[in-house]
Amino acid sequence: MKKDIILSGVGGQGILSIATIIGDAAVRAGLNLKQAEVHGMSQRGGEVESGLRLSDAEIHSDMVPLGSADIILSMEPMEALRYLPFLHKDGYVITSSSPFLNIDNYPEEKVKSALAAMEHVITLDLDRISQENSMPKSANVILLGAAAGVIGILTPDQLRESIRNVFASKGERIVEMNLRAFEIGQEYGR
Amino acid sequence: MTQVKLLLGDEAIAEGAMHAGIKGVYAYPGTPSTEITEYIRHSAMSRENGIHCTWSSNEKTAMEAALGMSYAGCRSMVCMKHVGMNVAADAFVNAGMTGVNGGLVVVAADDPSMHSSQNEQDSRFYGKFAMIPTLEPSTQQEAYEMMAYAFELSEKEKLPVLLRITTRLAHSRAAVRISADKPDTVRKPADRDRSAWVLLPANAKRKNLALTAKQPHLEQLSASSPFFRISVPDYPAVSGNQGAHSGNDSVSGNAGALPGNAGAVFPKGIIACGTGYNYVMENHVLEAGYHLMKISQYPVPAEAVRKFATGCSQILVVEDGQPFLEEQVRSIVGGDYPVKGRLTGDLPRTGELNPDCVGEAVGKKTVPVYAVPEGIVPRPPALCQGCGHRDVYIALNQVLADYPESRVFADIGCYTLGALPPFCAIDTCVDMGASITMAKGAADAGLHPAVAVIGDSTFTHSGMTGLLDAVNDRSNITVVISDNLTTAMTGGQDSAGTNKFEAICLALGVEKEHVRVVVPLQKNMEEITRIIREELEYDGVSVIIPRRECMQTLARKKRTAGRQA
């Protein structure tokens, strides 16, 4: 069994934290994993992407091949669409519907209609949800929660345990908030 | 005892070096190499073992300090991005001539596709240039294991060893099995052999002959390396058959069972290295009948390549970077033998390889199901909101609007983003330190105003000597040292000159009244623009230092303080 996931968003939105949580869960589950990250100049408010590959067999390429991703998990709707060529026929797009407007020519209507035309898509208004629940810094974990039912190769329980691990150093309050964020996300993923 | 850790390629190298018993790592930050040194700096093992790990001013000072540590009998590592090799080159190439005492490993992180760089240069050429062993891992696990191997190789051959990685390996994470033992720091007596270390022509000529004579031996080591491998498909066993690759100890798989006789059709061959090997394996080439050679060490093992080619009908060379291996394979097999790769268009001539272009080269073209919807626009990086460089460019643009002949020579760092809208404020960005010296050259040619914009860390890396040239020539330039108190682009490492810039400029001979410090904030715009105007009008060297802490390091400090409170 394998899962190829494309994580995307805008630099600073926390996609690498999602990768860290999934990575921790994968290692604990004894799965093979490769995760290609983006560092350096591209992080400064530009488009960022990280390919995450999980498998019970050996993984060779650090990069996700075209047409092979099972999930595109994105903190930003246009950034989800940018990586569509990597998605396989029955793959899922799980994305925030809240546009990150740091460019003048953002094609809001085109993004909306393109997402609406997708067959396997889960969108959630992450800005609103994270604000309503007073957890703006956990928007990424809400998104992970929304994907929990689709990831498959890891159970929600395994992901929860890794949320504990990853945030443990920041104190129990932060751990609890992120577990709650994960649960809220799960509701939207159903 | 072993343990499993989820590590970036960079971090695997750091673990490997620490477990090999290094006494020091010397480096200047540069994407994608930075995380090697960062990891060592933050590790408990470096504190326990007293590993030296503060940042160097530039790659040359780093290389020389590491050579000194090697001379004194300890193992040392130098890390840099590919263009850093140009800065370190004088020391690097001559370290091949002196040789080493304690093991010395130079890690060069190349950036094909230029994710964060100015060019696509391939550091393997430097290894060949210096005639020293060069290693190239394919996976994070290999990167870890190669470090112990590299230090042993360095000490055994008494040569520095170059380890070359690319962005994809440096910044990709995988589970790595590493030792759980606490390593001992390796320490030998300091070297005393002056004939080896004093590169006077008489000594250098002798060393040059010895190094050149050693090359066939180094080639053999490349073929006997534990990371070298020839894989062939699992054919049904054919008895009494002399396979094309038989007799090579490194053969894995069902060697010697090539179903061939005099009239047989030879299989296609692939020679791959580094991350290129991973993409080849991703495409199941063995199942498709290809024979595969994995090269992980240079100089290229010519004899092994020749023999491998003899058993194949053609060779496809798969390598990330420039066609370093492909050119050499061509010259080894010679004549009309078909060698395919980047030079023949079977793989893209430039840019990073990926599983898809390699797939296409082995006849497995993927057609994506979904296209990027029409209307999706790029989202380029930008200077952070609140960044002091923004105020510097706003001020410069305002003043320079009155000087249509002016040019702004900029440099390498976050502030290079001043090239993009909304600022469009800079005219050049070439290499570390070139802002000051290019402004000087332009001013010497009569261009006015010639303005240099350089960051604090870039100034101490390679700007100071250029400023001295300008002072000695009384060049008519205005230098802006945009000081954010850190090496920001690479994630906020210490900057070598923090709190020393006025003193450095005065000591280099800039006149006191023309070293001006301002705080780049909107509310100070009137003062800043007035000072810029005054210094543009001064016929000589002026330095303006806008100083305000980087927003990223400031935010990080606040977070840390918040957690501790």
- pLDDT tens track for B433-461: 999 999 999 999 999 999 999 999 999 99
Distances (CA, A) of B176 to A80, B15, B274, B338: 30, 10, 17, 38
Backbone angles phi, psi at B17, to 5 degrees: -70, -40
Per DSSP, the residues of A25-80 read: HHHHTT-EEEEE---GGGGTTSEEEEEEEEESS----SSPPTT-EEEEEESSHHHH
* Angle at the Cα of B384 from the Cα atoms of B521 and B59, rounded to 5 degrees: 100
Give this prediction's pTM.
0.94
State residue B257's pLDDT score: 39
Q: What is the tens place of the pLDDT at every residue in B8-27?
A: 999 999 999 999 999 999 99
**Residue B427: both structure tokens together:** 């005219």
State residue B237's pLDDT score: 45
Q: Which of A11, A45, A107 sits opposite B376 (nearest CB)?
A: A107
Between residues B245 and A85, which one has the greater pLDDT? A85
Q: pLDDT by residue for chain A (190 residues), tens digit each?
A: 999 999 999 988 889 899 999 999 999 999 999 999 876 565 678 888 999 999 999 999 999 999 999 999 999 999 999 999 999 999 999 999 999 998 999 999 999 999 999 999 999 999 999 999 999 999 999 999 999 999 999 999 999 999 999 999 999 999 999 999 999 999 998 8
Most confident of A16-20, B377-381, B428-432: B428-432
Per domain, the residue ranges of chain A are 2-100+107-189
> For residue B234, is pLDDT > 90?
no
Interface predicted TM-score (ipTM) over 0.85:
yes
- Letter string b/e over residues A42-55, b meaning 16 or more CB atoms within 10 A of that residue's CB: bbbbbbbbbbbbbb
Q: Give me the percent of chain B exceeding a pLDDT of 70.
A: 94
**Is B563 within 8 Å of chain A by CB?**
yes
Please choose, from the candidates B504, B490, B499, B501, the residue with its C-alpha nearest in 3D space to the C-alpha of residue B27: B490
Q: Which of residues 469 through 498 in chain B touch A, CB cutoff 8 A?
A: 489-491
The domains located in chain B, with CATH, are 2-188+200-213 (3.40.50.970), 229-237+267-361 (3.40.50.920), 388-553 (3.40.50.970)
Q: What is the tens place of the pLDDT at every residue in B355-376?
A: 999 999 999 998 999 999 999 9
**Is A28 within 8 Å of chain B by CB?**
no
**List of residues 6+ apart from B240 with CB closer than 8 A:** none
Range A2-100+107-189 has CATH code 3.40.50.720? no
* Angle at the Cα of A81 from the Cα atoms of A79 and A85, rounded to 5 degrees: 120
> For residue B253, is pLDDT > 60?
no
State residue B494's pLDDT score: 95
Band (B383; pLDDT cuts 50, 70, 90)? very high
> For residue B214, is pLDDT > 90?
yes
> For residue B335, is pLDDT > 90?
no
State residue B433's pLDDT score: 98
State residue A14's pLDDT score: 87
State residue B235's pLDDT score: 65
**Is A49 within 8 Å of chain B by CB?**
no
- Mean pLDDT, chain B, rounded, equals 94
Are the beta carbons of A87 and B369 separated by less than 8 Å? yes
State residue A44's pLDDT score: 72
Identify all chain A residues contacting B374, using CB atoms and an 8 Å cutoff: 110
Please choose, from the candidates B547, B544, B529, the residue with its C-alpha nearest in 3D space to the C-alpha of residue B400: B529
> For residue B211, is pLDDT > 90?
yes
Please choose, from the candidates B103, B54, B101, B106, the residue with its C-alpha nearest in 3D space to the C-alpha of residue B80: B106
State residue B236's pLDDT score: 53
State residue B256's pLDDT score: 39
Residue A53, min C-alpha distance to chain B (Å): 10
State residue B560's pLDDT score: 83
Strand pairing report for B450-455 and B407-409: parallel
Q: How far is it between the farthest Cα atoms of chain A?
A: 45
Q: Which of A11, A24, A59 sits opposite B381 (nearest CB)?
A: A11
Between residues B307 and B253, which one has the greater pLDDT? B307
Please choose, from the candidates A114, A167, A170, the residue with its C-alpha nearest in 3D space to the C-alpha of residue A140: A167
Identify all chain A residues contacting B35, using CB atoms and an 8 Å cutoff: 39
